[in-house]
Structure 1
């Protein structure tokens, strides 16, 4: 049969397309390159020659000079703020190309900037983004590949003014217009959308071929071919359209395909799929002036669309399971590409019959559905067993296709890998027997029928024959640096038995923590336990394997507090028994809960190990003392606050907290009211390090400023002076009152605008009184002193600071007595005693120093052993009174010296509260 003129035109288009595949322009020689980069450090110049060292700054500069066979390589990443016009031509086999200079990424023009090819031929444009549209005018043999284009309400791509042999592939476009006598335009594997216009509009453009595109329309025919656009071809496309929409101004039905009478001659259509939106029946065809509502009537009247398919909805068409678009296209149609919109190859879905032409399995539309193998799950049985035991490896992939899978199994012991072919369900892939003990990793790689690969690994332990050996490591669990909401008690330890060697997997683990507490665990776990107090504990771990075999080990675990940094806070009152809780009764322990949820910057106090308190006793019914300890059961031989009947006395206390964040108070005898103020806390991995200094006087109102009157405040410069750095966060100072005119209280605090309702010192007429305070540093490196009533002279001696350049971390201890001269004889006036018992590496110590049975007014001074005695005092001693004070002092060679003034003899009692070591 003699072919018609239209058939001959279409056949000519097929030969052209198949002879020169998209993206594979045959080059007679390797082209040279020009480079473009607008990046700041690119050293670019439009006046140069476009070398890699000195690239052009703009694409336009390269477009003006590019020669046949050259490739313009454009650096992606920064939008190019220019409209680009290409009007130079390549030659057959030597095109000019514009591509990204990178393995991945697209070159982008700034919003609104258009790309135009005018009067040019043999041009290749690849991987470009433009939000100003692409125009091809009066040009030939132009290839546009992987283009992303939008242009507001206008068509994103326009081919016109008699252009010929323009090929557009694998691109995402918002509307395409082919007009103006253009010929042999090919659209292949594109995703094209339209709204108020058609997705693709072809006017007066004969020989246009539209193959394997996914087109969606709304307010017009999805594909419109009109005018003299004869001998066109529509193959393997997916059309998605709506027949009504509130956004459209016309209520006319929306056709998937509209071919006018003037364009119908020689135009062919087949293997297309049309679908509507949910709830809308598609109206697929308007051909040569007649509307056809189904494929059968269209085929009967025109002879076209013999293999077309209509579906109720786009959702059905897009489904991976049983979609009519899968494996049903014509792989011999003109313009066919064997890679899809995303670069994926054509593959055969084994779940779907191959209904494409001649039994082919090309999918319709722009996308080729794939297996999409994502993971493989591996099981090993047994995964823990003695050498000589047969191990079985199973695997299952998530492949949707029950094609034959290939599995590669590497046993991880140097033996040759095994390859097996199975389906996608769970399968026994291989069996293996390990000959030597060791920890191995089995790696399984699954490969599906399209060559996609995924891998998974599974550890396996080959153990020696014979009885197992239990072992464990006990490590202290510390709060993490930064924010933590959970309460982590001090003295918490983790028991890790993972280093144990057992013949078979562990079924049960039994742990005796060594203080009367036992715990059973299922399987091998990391046990955690909080001890009540420091000490050496004999802990035992027993492992029972799945075959009933046992192994046991016992070792001594040293439990102690961890070195900690100090967190200074705005002081707060925790307890005042005068308003809540009544009086303390002698011999009955009283608990005070610490503020575990206290927020301080990026941390909470949930992991505090010790606290700094100011404890005041008042209204005592008899001479007595208060001891502070971390547990209820302790009956310490130490004391913290000593008070006379009817008097008021306060002292700073540093003490560990128990597992609940509590501190216990025990009044020795009688009754008294108690006030507890929270001043700060120590926590591992948090806070500031401490640097002790020899006691140095910062202020003395007897020589400067005069006595501090009641209801008034006075600043004291503490940071940036006397060796204290300007950025210190807190200072440890000894406060002394003298010449007080009435009972009062003194507050030391950082912010003059916010005076806390606490107290640090209780002056009394006729008595010199001392107390140590740790005070956050306020604005301009100052602290503020407030006197509540009467007037008093105040003396401020600094003994150390906390800051970024601090040297030491603090380790709290359960209060213990280091020395008591009541067993060795009084300390005479002017004499010095040496207190030993501190760790050799201690840089400083926190002590509770007590003077008792004093014969005359005077003071005690604590300082580092081997150093010169400073002039400052640590405690003011008074005849007939027992006077304690919280003292922070340097340490020398594990010892502290305590010197008595010339006022009278004293008994000196020294209790250890903690010590500082190099951080």
Structure 2
């Protein structure tokens, strides 16, 4: 029958065989400080105060007086050889402790800690890499220390007639030796890991007590007493032989406990557990005789009557539980981790007198393996009774005490029951917690969220905002015109179980939680969005609101140009009346947010060639109606190109359609606009950067020309890309011109298609290359080139964001009258805060050759051209221009009269709309 806890007196174990002096009350000691951190103002010549601490432990050890405590700052290694020769007084020791978070020891470097000629010294929480040596010292206590075996010798040596040294709750790596006439040494609750032949060797050290230690053995003897080590005690230890891949040599063999004949007088040994394979040696050696099993050993010596010998080291843990002698010399009632003695109800109490002390350094505990907390009403209005239920799993399934806290400032509920109820008096987002305690004081906690709402009816509500790609997740695909509808601002006293969202464009979505939902619209506009909620009580509520959907303001990202479509090599010519989809591949780079996964608009160079009729090409976002605008105009049999800035459809495509006839289309991808990334734009008054007619001469076939752009005129040195108007004149043959950043990497794309007898223009956006330059390449014949800058992009500075729009016609003089030579027309319809615009400007019904200049309304006109007009031709050009007061001005040169058509592609603002 199991004895009750009241009848098993473990307190007897506090009395040691050797009469170690008990601590007595003392006055609060003064404190010295050691801190080797930079900025600590430490000084080894100082007072050792907290304001001016010692830099080294050695300095503090020299200064310490009886009753003083030396607090040593943890966190940095102390690379010094420390010698402690201080002397305290009975009841007033000199104490060295760690000053830092619990569990953080003081770390000594490779040098040893030496305690020599000292008395009444206590050292706690020390990690000694170089080992510890104690000599000629009296009343020394080492607690929670850790040693590592040095290159030579043992990791812990107690010798030279030291007396009353106590080592407890330590982890000792390397051999431990007690020698040289040391007396009354006590080792208790230590973990000893030997790395040579004798993990724990006692030589000529009478009265040594070895109790409740866990000794790990390789080869040799785990615990040996020899010489004059009489009157010693070996109790409650666990000796585990390691599993070795190579057997021990015959010479050292493997042994558990060995006591020489000279040490046997008055020495006692019992309640030890020896586990493992000892075939290569002997379990016991006593008085010169060897014994292989416990029965023979006890019969011959009278020792070890309650020892346990197990063939496998794996059995040590289970057989050690509740089987030790609580009255043995040197017993400590807290283990190596500080946990108290605990009675495992699953195991019979086979310890002395029915006790339940465990053998070895550690006590088996009723560990709390998991704790969970559930609320029956995790979402409910204030005034509702909420029931909390705790589920705890412990190793022994012993009795537990629960502390419930409901997170609203109310007093905790302490109970032996697994449940507790509570009424929240006010709305809150509270965290309820439970902490479960067992009889040993071990604990574990868990929490659960309580959403306490205001009483009242279910009332639907929602907010809406554009959902944009972010720098934190730069490669996630986000379609343009994606809107997030968030119903979490609804008044919902009870859990919402169903949310129905009608996005107003025919799309609907149902979800089962009050969470945001997202939808990509096909085109901008105003939409009636409705949200219907249904809660756990069956109540419903509806809200309808108008949501404005528009493209987001974006930064520009240039890419290495690539060909996205060429119907000459893939597919057939495109036909009039049929929209041809152009897929814009997502382009990923090895690092950074440079990609097109969340682009709002693409910048393309579009070329039409081989047209069977005079015609024009429209380019617009997929999923939207074809706009009444144009991008490229071409004569039958001719080749014409233009830069196109166009929003990207929700499916990642744009559409292209000829107005009449058929022809081949080439689409080159040169950049894109994307929210939360890219470069901002600064428009400038058009400025001429190069003109080969006046400098350098025409560019021949296969030739390149470098043009300095960054740091020139009003373009700053840190510009990352430039917007240019590129004009060819005097071409000797049909050819193409490429503008690109890196002279060593010419892309297989084109920007301009010069023809003999025609001045042709195209606007391009080119990244800035080495030394602030760009490179121009002419494919065939020769041609003069004129380069006019209209703006630049960069990372720094204010800069403007670009907001794309579905292509929109702003003005058409065919309905108001021709623009005469030398006259200016004003085009309005831009936002008042726009500082720049991307336009497609087309000249048609031209009477004579000339050019148009587009500039900000209210600003001075320059001689730079935006497009070159030709009689009999319809000529478009992509134009990025400054804006003034929501307007732009278009001036017609003295060449001839023109009709001018202006289409809006997007606009720039310094602030996000």
Q: Does residue 718 in structure 1 map to residue 709 in structure 2?
A: yes
Q: In structure 2, how many angstroms separate the alpha carbons of the residues matched to 1:156 and 1:819?
A: 92
Shift of 1:417: 4.3
Q: Give CA-to-partner distance per residue, 1:263-288, whole Å, 9 cap, x none.
A: 122111222222116x9899532222
Distance 1:315 1:914, change over 3 A: farther
Distance 1:58 1:391, change over 3 A: closer
Distance 1:808 1:115, change over 3 A: same
Shift of 1:748: 0.7
User: Which of 487, 500, 509 is the aligned partner of 2:490?
Assistant: 500
Shift of 1:465: 6.6
Distance 1:501 1:38, change over 3 A: closer
Shift of 1:12: 9.6
Q: In structure 1, how many angstroms separate the alpha carbons of the residues matched to 2:40 and 2:74?
A: 12
Q: Does residue 705 in structure 1 map to residue 696 in structure 2?
A: yes
Counterpart in 2 of 1:40? 38
User: Which of 840, 847, 851 is the aligned partner of 1:855?
Assistant: 847
User: Which of 518, 531, 535 is the aligned partner of 2:521?
Assistant: 531
Distance 1:464 1:39, change over 3 A: closer
Q: In structure 1, how many angstroms separate the alpha carbons of the residues matched to 2:319 and 2:202?
A: 27
> Helix, strand or coil: the match of 2:765?
strand
Shift of 1:680: 0.7
Q: Give CA-to-partner distance per residue, 1:471-527, whole Å, 9 cap, x none.
A: 222222211215544322111222222232345433322221111122222344432
Q: Mapping of 1:51-450 within 5 angstroms?
A: 51-104=49-102, 105-111=104-110, 113-150=111-148, 151-152=150-151, 154-173=153-172, 174-242=174-242, 246=246, 248-250=248-250, 253-276=253-276, 284-318=283-317, 323-373=318-368, 375-385=370-380, 390-412=385-407, 417-422=412-417, 427=418, 429-433=419-423, 440-450=430-440
Distance 1:754 1:437, change over 3 A: closer
Distance 1:542 1:33, change over 3 A: closer
Preserved CA contact (<8 Å) 1:330 1:356: yes
User: Which of 768, 784, 800 is the aligned partner of 1:808?
Assistant: 800
User: Which of 657, 670, 676 is the aligned partner of 1:679?
Assistant: 670
Q: Does residue 571 in structure 1 map to residue 569 in structure 2?
A: no
Q: Give CA-to-partner distance per residue, 1:52-74, whole Å, 9 cap, x none.
A: 44444333334344433333333
Distance 1:349 1:466, change over 3 A: same
Q: In structure 2, how many angstroms separate the alpha carbons of the residues matched to 1:271 and 1:336?
A: 12
Counterpart in 1 of 2:533? 543
Shift of 1:871: 2.5
> Helix, strand or coil: the match of 1:842?
coil
Q: Mapping of 1:456-495 within 5 angstroms?
A: 456-461=446-451, 467-482=457-472, 484-495=474-485
Q: Give CA-to-partner distance per residue, 1:240-277, whole Å, 9 cap, x none.
A: 01586516333765222112222122111222222116
Q: In structure 2, how many angstroms separate the alpha carbons of the residues matched to 1:600 and 1:288?
A: 75
Shift of 1:196: 2.7
State TM-score, norm by structure 2.
Answer: 0.93
Preserved CA contact (<8 Å) 1:282 1:312: no
Q: In structure 2, how many angstroms separate the alpha carbons of the residues matched to 1:487 and 1:44?
A: 56
> Helix, strand or coil: the match of 2:296?
helix
Counterpart in 2 of 1:593? 583
Distance 1:600 1:175, change over 3 A: closer
Preserved CA contact (<8 Å) 1:445 1:453: yes
Q: Give CA-to-partner distance per residue, 1:63-114, whole Å, 9 cap, x none.
A: 3444333333333333333322233433323333333343443222222x12
Count of matched residue positions in the alignment of Structure 1 and Structure 2: 894
Preserved CA contact (<8 Å) 1:27 1:69: no
Q: In structure 1, how many angstroms separate the alpha carbons of the residues matched to 2:263 and 2:85?
A: 31
Q: In structure 2, how many angstroms separate the alpha carbons of the residues matched to 1:613 and 1:670?
A: 23
Shift of 1:186: 0.9
> Helix, strand or coil: the match of 2:95?
strand
Q: In structure 2, how many angstroms separate the alpha carbons of the residues matched to 1:475 and 1:374?
A: 45
Distance 1:600 1:610, change over 3 A: farther
- After TM superposition, the structure 1 stretch with the greater mean CA deviation from structure 2, 697-706 or 752-761, is 697-706
Counterpart in 1 of 2:10? none
Preserved CA contact (<8 Å) 2:139 2:163: yes
Shift of 1:126: 2.3
Q: Does residue 879 in structure 1 map to residue 871 in structure 2?
A: yes
> Helix, strand or coil: the match of 1:14?
coil
Shift of 1:374: 6.1
Preserved CA contact (<8 Å) 2:618 2:631: yes
Preserved CA contact (<8 Å) 1:243 1:282: no
Q: Does residue 16 in structure 1 map to residue 19 in structure 2?
A: yes
Distance 1:441 1:483, change over 3 A: closer
Q: Mapping of 1:617-766 within 5 angstroms?
A: 617-632=608-623, 634-766=625-757
Distance 1:434 1:47, change over 3 A: closer
- After TM superposition, the structure 1 stretch with the greater mean CA deviation from structure 2, 386-395 or 298-307, is 386-395
- After TM superposition, the structure 1 stretch with the greater mean CA deviation from structure 2, 335-344 or 611-620, is 335-344
- After TM superposition, the structure 1 stretch with the greater mean CA deviation from structure 2, 471-480 or 43-52, is 43-52
- After TM superposition, the structure 1 stretch with the greater mean CA deviation from structure 2, 638-647 or 44-53, is 44-53
Distance 1:389 1:282, change over 3 A: farther
Contiguous gaps of at least 5 residues in structure 1:
1-9
Distance 1:503 1:632, change over 3 A: closer
Q: In structure 1, how many angstroms separate the alpha carbons of the residues matched to 2:187 and 2:409?
A: 53
Q: Give CA-to-partner distance per residue, 1:671-713, whole Å, 9 cap, x none.
A: 1111111101111111111111111111112222222222111
Q: In structure 1, how many angstroms separate the alpha carbons of the residues matched to 2:883 and 2:588?
A: 32
Q: In structure 2, how many angstroms separate the alpha carbons of the residues matched to 1:414 and 1:39?
A: 40
> Helix, strand or coil: the match of 2:597?
helix
> Helix, strand or coil: the match of 1:757?
coil
Preserved CA contact (<8 Å) 1:13 1:184: no
State TM-score, norm by structure 1.
Answer: 0.92
Shift of 1:783: 0.8
Q: In structure 2, how many angstroms separate the alpha carbons of the residues matched to 1:242 and 1:500?
A: 65
Cα RMSD (Å):
2.6
> Helix, strand or coil: the match of 1:221?
strand
Q: In structure 2, how many angstroms separate the alpha carbons of the residues matched to 1:11 and 1:344?
A: 16
> Helix, strand or coil: the match of 2:477?
coil
Q: In structure 1, how many angstroms separate the alpha carbons of the residues matched to 2:433 and 2:46?
A: 54
Preserved CA contact (<8 Å) 1:380 1:392: yes
Q: In structure 1, how many angstroms separate the alpha carbons of the residues matched to 2:647 and 2:403?
A: 59
Shift of 1:412: 4.9
Q: Give CA-to-partner distance per residue, 1:137-159, whole Å, 9 cap, x none.
A: 22222222222212135310111
> Helix, strand or coil: the match of 2:39?
helix
> Helix, strand or coil: the match of 2:295?
helix
